[in-house]
A and B are shown apart, each in its own frame.
Chain A
């Protein structure tokens, strides 16, 4: 008799390896608390998801339905109509929003990303880094209207008038913390071993930052920039104090003029949506749709840009 045989149990019952298992226990049944709980919770999750999706979809649907009707080439090329005038558009507001967002991005990206490098590389006990990080965190929750008041005091009063520049500064204040904090996170996510590799090759700290840290963190940095742009583009309150509004193109004598009151989509929506005229209200809807699409396009562009990197 082999050793194997000896180990085998002799009765057929014992040979069944599942003899101990109660098959009934494995069955799914609503009478069981664990199954019931699981079904109930799954149901709850579904209901909550639908509840959350409801408003979201109705807003988007409303936007496309009401804004889409008015959308035409004229909307992009013409100036806002006066009170009872038919037609018209908000080409100047689109231009104004684009200009202010571009300037704000040009201000915030270098400042934000380079300070992020500083924060990510600073020693944990560095007082300056702690202060900057704290300020940035406070600023993320900064009421946007205060950014407007600040830019009003700092730029409008100083330069003697409402302007696109003042608007850009106000928006920059709102964009900066988002860019700074997401970029810091993205830079911190770069694996230490990559940094070691660069240092080991004889890269200076500056070269490491430019050639390894920033390129590797680029997708994360771009996400932050996109988020910041999405926030900045939609803000109305800070622009009311800074760029105000204008019924004309942001130019004088055919030249771009950044030092005069400038129209923006957000303020146009704010102004027109409350007017008792059908045409204006419809234009406000169309402007809202354009604003959403603009943000969407920047987002897609950002994604395309970051995925163009080799993978």
Chain B
């Protein structure tokens, strides 16, 4: 059966082609979570996800299975959560970012993040995008980099005449693209996106998806999504996380990981099959 093929011909057809564009298949982030706790609550176990350079990796799964948790592990955002404890490793370019000698602040400058809710700062559009540059004490032409980031985020045409206006005055979809521009202005190695389209309408969602495909040429992207069609449309690889609440457990784990075409076209695991069938019917 080819569910994927029917709902979006380009999705499957394009996946192998995409593969060819990055033949090295170089793993930038090698993530292995043995156990992850919030206080005494074990949120995630046994999850290994390799994130390949200049490709899009999607995490899917039912609500509460730990997708956001895994994603936030990748740039140590979970450090903000009190009681967070982690066993395993996350290696960025071979370097374990959870070693005590590593500064999480520096990690986050290499691994940027776009959140579920658009969260621009209460300052001008320009300053929003320039934020990361200023953090890093960027010496070059800030204006040029801001323009470039806004162009890459597909927002330039809409805001070029009102760069001094507040970022909060934009529409939801524009705000989300502003946040993407802000994240890519510093040209991070990896971009993490946690349900970047959940607050957006289909048109804005499409724009962001096109943008992700465009950004993939330069950046490595990991995305959490509830929208399986979206994962199918944009992701090269997909990981399915699951939490079996019927068995009383609340700990999420990775069930299956592979090429998107395979996960959506020919899932191997029972849970994956059920989940994907449920979502598509």
B106 to chain A, nearest CB (A): 7
A194 to B165, CA, bound (A): 18
A149 at the B interface (CB under 8 A)? no
Complex: chain B residue closest to A201, CB-CB = B132
Q: Is the CB of B135 within 8 A of A200?
A: no
Cβ-Cβ contact count across A and B, 8 Å cutoff? 75
A215 at the B interface (CB under 8 A)? yes
Q: Is the CB of A193 within 8 A of B117?
A: yes
Residues in A with CB closer than 8 Å to B75 are 200
B190 to chain A, nearest CB (A): 12
A203 to B133, CA, bound (A): 11
Q: Is the CB of A204 within 8 A of B122?
A: no
A28 at the B interface (CB under 8 A)? no
Interface residues of B in 99-125 (CB under 8 A from A): 105-110, 112-113, 115, 117, 119-124
Residues in A with CB closer than 8 Å to B135 are 201-203, 207, 211
Q: Is the CB of A200 within 8 A of B115?
A: yes
A181 to B108, CA, bound (A): 33
A145 to B135, CA, bound (A): 47
Interface size class of A (residues with CB under 8 A): 20 to 34
Residues of A in contact with B (beta carbons under 8 Å apart): 123, 191, 193-194, 196-204, 207, 211-212, 215-216, 309-311
A311 to B120, CA, bound (A): 12
A202 to B132, CA, bound (A): 8
Residues in B with CB closer than 8 Å to A311 are 166, 168-169
Partner of A202, one of B105, B117, B165: B105
Interface residues of B in 114-157 (CB under 8 A from A): 115, 117, 119-124, 131-132, 134-136
Choose, from B4-12, B179-187, B212-220, B249-257, the stretch at the interface: B179-187
B206 at the A interface (CB under 8 A)? no
Residues in A with CB closer than 8 Å to B122 are 194, 215-216, 309
Given contacts A207-B135, A311-B169, contact A202 B106 (CB under 8 A): yes
Residues in A with CB closer than 8 Å to B120 are 197
Q: Is the CB of A212 within 8 A of B121?
A: yes
Looking at chain A's contact residues, the main secondary structure is: helix
Q: Is the CB of A201 within 8 A of B112?
A: yes
Q: Is the CB of A201 within 8 A of B131?
A: yes
Residues in A with CB closer than 8 Å to B132 are 201-202
Q: Is the CB of B165 within 8 A of A310?
A: yes
Complex: chain A residue closest to B117, CB-CB = A193
Given contacts A202-B135, A204-B105, A310-B165, contact A197 B123 (CB under 8 A): no
A212 to B182, CA, bound (A): 14
A123 to B83, CA, bound (A): 13
Partner of B80, one of A194, A196, A201, A215: A196
Q: Is the CB of B77 within 8 A of A193?
A: no
Q: Is the CB of B134 within 8 A of A211?
A: yes
A198 to B124, CA, bound (A): 15
Complex: chain A residue closest to B179, CB-CB = A197
A216 to B120, CA, bound (A): 11
Residues in A with CB closer than 8 Å to B115 are 193, 196-197, 200
